[in-house]
Structures are given as structure tokens and as C-alpha cells.
Chains A and B, each alone.
Chain A
């Protein structure tokens, strides 16, 4: 069938084309409808794709019939197909959420253009997740960066600091992209290829090659910027906290995740067999940096009073957990990292959505002082928020627990008690900032009446959809676990 055969291409092409159409539409409502419909189609295609991969294991899609290594390919296997599904699912939910939230945060006449950029961002995320071509990835990286920056700058209607945040992201993101593309250049010089699978084969023939290793170093540095890995995360807290809430929840949920996936693919899918330096990088650079990220993010979150910034800082810590799992350099470590990519995307998406609703309710930024008693005034959203918060801590029967279980499994397999102590300590610290929020929002008396009379159902419904999935994944975890193990199998072979 024509459509089924071309799903990988369509997943990028459809939102890309839709984006052009949406920008021309006259009314905000129609533009939203069109965008939402597009994300639904993408979700349908992603589900189909998961079905295909679970029967065929891997899929390589060559554009225009140009077979690799000459043409551009999209490669799908169990390492990225669930990521594609995740991006598709989160886009649907975030678009649903945007219906109420985006309209109240930016000017009505800007809405169609905003949805156009929104779809562009989604298209680029699909491209990043699927491409098997090092240079093509750079292209998607740029599309993603530019569209994200535009979306973040839209927050300026609420708070002018959004412009500075967007500008910072622009500069830092450009530096990261430059690093990446320089790395690609080195790699191309060494191997004469841009196709990742082809590069792997050629490097295996070449053996240790200084140019290729230099290229790897540049590429990793560039990707780490995009992934928000400590200490090159500095664009992230401001970007997430000043963007419109719908944008924050989309970006916080999936934007960094695709970069982390690619980071893992570079390390484990390509370079680990070629150079000893990857082992060195994992143990002596990535691991200490991850531990620092976890403690920096968590402790900074404890002392942060602005909710959005607090959760952005918590994201840095959570990304630290993912890279920490990767740095263990084992099958279960990679599985744990991929499991947490999915779970954390859902959890953080739900949290940012809920915070957006709270802020809308009181008509100002959500901070420790403005949020007093708001949990009692908006109980439905708050209940979802609490469940997502519990998942963030890793309470049993939520998705976060499964992440924690597999992370600890990977740590215990190393037999290093010090790591156990570090990670356990950090998880206790993360309880502190969530408890602080709970105390302020629930145990204190409300200080002011709500600006908008009720919680908008169209806004809390998406929160609850995310929370529902979080709870289901905590109870029936089989799919998520096997997706994580499948990703590790795809990258370093079955154990």
C-alpha cells in the first residue's frame, strides 16, 4: 500500500506541508483544528510504524529511490520507533492543551502562524528521531532550533524576558549546531560518507582514526547542547520558564529526548566498538557530569520559587539520570535510560501543563507565594499534578517507579555501592521540592480568588490524559520495559 510503505517520509512531510497551509488559514479556530487533525494523523502513522517494526525488527526508508549510502535514509528500529510514538502522542496531547492555553497567552491574530511554527517543530522532531544520515540530522536540528526559538519568543506577550531566553537559546543553540556540523565534516573527511550505517562499516575497516574521533567529540558536544546535558544546559531553564505553557510542555516533554536518543545512538550504535575513548568518555566525563547534573538540578530546584523554572531545573536532574544510566555502559543501563526517556517525557509534560493551568487561574506567574492554597481552588488539575509529582519521585504504581527500578538494577549490577548511595540520596532530595510545593498549594489557605471562574475542562483533560498514561505504565509496565530492552538490543545487541 502506498501510504503504509511511505510512512517514515509522510511523518515528516505531512506536518511540514500542513504547517504551510495552517499559516495561511484565516481564523485561529480553523488553524487549530487543522493542526490537531494533522497530529492525529501522525499518531495513527506512528502506531502503524510500531506495528511494522514489531514484526520486521528494522526498516530502512530510502528517499526518492536513492539507495544508501548515496541517498538520504530514515532508519527505524526498536531504538527509535517508540520515540516516534512518544513524540506523536505528546504532540496530540500538547496540541489539545494548546487550544485553551495558547489562545489565552498570545494575541489572537498571531495564532495561525503560531500553529504553523508548532507543526514545524513537530515535523523536525520526527525527522530527528528517524534520520539515518548525519548531515540530514543537522538540517532537522536547525529546523527544530529555529521553530523552538520562535515558539519560546511568543511568551513575550506574557513576560518580556521570553525574548532574552529565546535569544540565548538562539546563540547557544547555534554554537551547538556548529560544533555538530564541524564534527560531521571531520567524519566525512575520514570516511567519505554521511550515512550512519555506512560510516560504521567504514570505520570498522579503518580502525582507530584520529579524524573520526575528533569528529565524534565535536558531534557529541553539539548534541549535548541540544539535549540539555549539564553543564551546557544553560539555555534550558529560562527557555522553558518563559515560553507559553503549551510550548513548555511540548519542548520539555520531547525536544530534549530526541537529542538524547541520538546521543545514545552515536555512542553505542556507532562508536563504542571503534574506539576505547568512548569507554573513557562514559566513565570519566559523562558519569561525573551526570552526577553533578542530578545534584545541581535537584538542589537548585529546592531553592527555586518560580514553578516553571523549578521544573526546568528538575528536568536537568532528570536528564542527568538518563545520561547516568547510559554512562554505566551496560545493557541494563541503556535499557534504563530509554525507559526513563519515555516516562520522564510523560511526567514532565503533565507537570508543565498543570503549572500552566495554575498560572492562568491566578493570572500571574506560578511562584511559591502566588500559589498558596491554589490546589484547593483547582482540585481537579491539582490531583493530576500530585499524581505526576509522585511519578517524578518514583512512587510505586506510577511510571516513574519503573524507571527507578531499572536504573537501580543497572547500578546494582555494577556492584558499586557509592553509586547506589548517590542516586538514593538524590531521590530523597527530590521529595523535598515536591513536598514544598504540596505544602504551599494544599496545606495553606487560599489568599486570593481565582481570576478565571473555573478550571477549564479543555485544559485539564490533556493533563489527565497524560496522567492516565503515567498510571497505566506504572501498573502495566510490560510495554515500556520491553521498549527499553528493545532499544538496548538494537544498539548493542541482545544480552
Chain B
């Protein structure tokens, strides 16, 4: 086993070890709660080494055995996977610190069970990023669904259980009904499921069937929350905020769009999609989702619900980039995974911090809260700017590339969609900050200061800001992804 394979093994096993450690130390709260951050740190460091090896053009892969002809139980890091692995593991460190602050501050029950499934979910996310083929991706896609169910239904109230059922029901049903058959289909026509640059479908595969297959993937991957398969995401917001932050802004939903992007790049091949024009319909559907869910977001007064619809809208940016299938657009989509993840996790951290420290969930009750929780609202503001796509925030890069990609793909109308979406973002994301800073307080609110809930959003907001200047650190990965 080479050094790189060892690193790959560490980054996959570490979250599981961390989960086991949580169980072992379930009685010693402080030791238990350090397991997450430590595991996250080790995983993240391995992910950095893996990413830099990929940038140097090395291959990082482990093949364990053959499940069936053409389907190996194997991990092989693609440039896109390396990028997603960085995002998932890096944000896990902060999220696990935040979790401690939140769970203790909100006095949640069953914290051990929570921490356990949280780590298992991250394991699944890491395995998804480093999957060597489509079947591996599917396996861990399902592991992610099942491991997050106990987190969504955590409070065990009737509402939480029903939300959990809807969550599982939609994600499992779509994956079994469409995603898995589509994988079988690819395997039948290509004899392999290996992620390969330029795609694996036979060149004479009829364009109409490509569209059908793409639809099976796009709707089968319910985690990408493309309309009309989006209802599970707002429902999942009953979960404690750390779940919404890491899983429903980063790991789970990004695993969905990551899968869509991986499939368009490594199964279909962007040139193949581009020349056949089989993905044009998907671009329009993504555009519709972007605008429709932004409009729904405006109507939501519950802060987490608004952020959830904003997430649905932003996820479709990535699907749009995949569907446009040009080099710039897919690069933009890949970068948007990073940019949106850092910004959206900040927003959710802030929403959770507002709840823990001031016990407020509704936007209309935020009036005058800004001066009392200044750091949180500044972080919220910066992250909002990144999502809107205003320099000097990281989000401006991905939006820029997506716009360039729409022009390359000969669909300039998508420019208008992106622009309108930015305006809608301004409207619904800046309202909470505006209320907090510029409106007088209506009632007296008792504010606590749980420091562990305040530091993480500030840090992620800073990361979001610095990504504007350090884009060259991650860009090589996306360039590698689209290089012929």
C-alpha cells in the first residue's frame, strides 16, 4: 500500500473511527465531544494531501474486490471528488465544534446517538466523493440517506417522525425507481461503471435515449432537490440546526449535485452531451427551479425554511452548470459546490446561533437584534453577499464562470435567469440583516452568548471571503476536471 493509498484509507476510515469513539466515550461528555473535531481535522489533512497529489497529476485509488463483472468495490479520486472531499471534511471540523455548542446550548437529548450518526453521515459523504465508480457512489448515497434519517427524526416528536418519513420516502423511492435502474442501464450498454474522462457510453447511443437516461439520473438523485423532487428538503428542517447546516447545506445536498455533476462529466462526458444537445431540457428545468424556489423563499418567514428554499435554488445553479455542459459552466458548477457550501453553512450556523442565543426562529422577530449579536449578523451579511455573487466574496467566481458558460453554450437567456436570481437573493437574504440592524427592537430579548456557536460562523464567513483571493488554490482541480 503506497502512502497515497494509506491517506485515502485514513480519510475514509477516520469518520467511522470517530463514530465508534463517540460510542465508546458516551459517558464522558467532554472526551466524546472532542472526537468529532479531531476526526475532522485528521480527515481534512488527508484530504488536502490527496487533493495536492491529484493536482500533481497522480492517481489515488484502492481496489478491494470485484462485486460483479465491470463493477469493482473500489475508490478512485477524481479531481471533482478531491474537491468535494475537501469541502465535506473541512467544514465537518467547524460543524462538529458548532454542534457541541448548539446541542449543549439547546439542551438536546440523546447527544451520543446524534454525534454517532453525524460522523457516519460524514463517512458516507467522504466515500461518495472518493467513489471509483457509479455503483460505489450509489451505495454510499444510500448509506447517507439511512444515516441521516435518525438525525432528521432526532427529536422523536410526531412532526419529526413524519418529516423523517417524507425524507426517507422521497429519497429512497426516487433512488430505487430511477437512479438504480439508470445505473443498471449504463452497465448493460457499456459493460463498466468506472468514472472515465469523456464518458463511457458508446458513441452511437441514440440522443433521445441519452435524454431519458439523464432524466432518470436527474430525478433519481433526489438529493439534488431539482423541482419537483424538492419537498424533502424543507421537511428535513425539523432536524436540529447542525444537521441542517452540515448535512442539508453541505454533505447531503452537495452529494446530490456532486453526483449529477460527476455523472455528466465522467459517465456521459460533457462533449457528448454538448454535441447531442440531450441536456438542454435539464438546463431549462434547472432555470425554472432557480427562480421558482427563490420566489417561494421570499414568502417564508421562518428563517430556516427560507434558507432551505434558497438552498434548493442554489443547488440548481450546479445542475444548470452540469446541463450546459461546457468547460466553463461545469467548472463554475464545481466551484459553486465549494462557494455555496461555505456560504450556506455560515447562514445556517447563524440561524442556529440566533435560536440558541436569542430563541428566535422567525425573520419578522429579528428587529433590532443586530447590535446584541453583532458577529453573527456580520457573518450572515458576508455569507449573503457570497451567495448573491458580489465581489470580494468567493461566490462571485462561480457565478461568473456559470455566466460565461451559458454564453459558451449558446444559451444567453440563462444570463438573465442568473441575474434575476441574484436580485431575488438580494431581496430575501439581506432582509434579516436589514431588520436586525436598522429596525428598532419590538420587545426585549434576553440574549445568551454560547461562544462555540458564534466562532464557527465567523470562521466560515472568513473562509468565504478569502476564497475570493485564494481561488487559485482550488481552481487547478476544476481545470483538471475539464481538461481533455
Interface residues of A (CB under 8 A from B): 395-397, 401-402, 404-405, 408-409, 412-413, 417, 420, 423-425, 427-428, 431, 474-478, 481
Contacts and interface: CB of A to CB of B under 8 A. Distances in A.
Interface of B: prevailing SS: helix
B187 interface: yes
30 contacts: A395-B142, A396-B138, A396-B139, A396-B142, A397-B139, A402-B67, A402-B68, A404-B180, A405-B71, A405-B184, A408-B181, A408-B185, A409-B187, A412-B185, A412-B189, A420-B181, A420-B185, A423-B181, A424-B178, A424-B181, A428-B172, A428-B177, A431-B172, A431-B176, A475-B67, A475-B73, A476-B65, A478-B66, A481-B68, A481-B69
A462 B188 CA distance: 36
The 10 closest A-B pairs by CB, nearest first: A408-B184, A412-B188, A396-B139, A424-B181, A428-B176, A409-B188, A424-B177, A428-B173, A412-B185, A428-B177
Contacts of B68: 402, 405, 477, 481
A428 B176 CA distance: 6
Interface in B156-210: 172-173, 176-178, 180-181, 184-185, 187-189
B212 interface: yes
B188 A408 contact: yes
Contacts of A409: 184, 187-188
Interface in B116-164: 135, 138-139, 142
A413 B69 CA distance: 17
A424 B178 CA distance: 7
Interface in B45-92: 65-69, 71, 73
A97 to B, nearest CB: 29
Contacts of A413: 188
A412 B212 CA distance: 13
Contacts, number: 58
Interface of B: 65-69, 71, 73, 135, 138-139, 142, 172-173, 176-178, 180-181, 184-185, 187-189, 212
A427 B185 contact: no
Nearest to A430: B176
A417 B182 CA distance: 11
B275 to A, nearest CB: 23
Contacts of B189: 412
A485 to B, nearest CB: 10
B177 A425 contact: yes
Contacts of A425: 177
A463 B181 CA distance: 30
A409 B173 CA distance: 20
B184 A427 contact: no
A420 B188 CA distance: 13
A397 B67 contact: yes
Nearest to B69: A481
A294 to B, nearest CB: 15
Contacts of B71: 405
A322 B326 CA distance: 44
Given A396-B138, A405-B68, A412 B184 contact: yes
Contacts of B172: 428, 431
A399 to B, nearest CB: 11
Contacts of A428: 172-173, 176-177
A408 B68 CA distance: 14
A405 B187 contact: yes
B218 to A, nearest CB: 16
Contacts of A424: 176-178, 180-181
Nearest to B140: A396
Nearest to A417: B212
Nearest to A413: B188
Given A424-B180, A424-B181, A427-B176, A475 B212 contact: no
Contacts of B173: 428, 431
A474 B138 CA distance: 15
Nearest to A425: B177
A339 B304 CA distance: 49
A408 B187 CA distance: 10
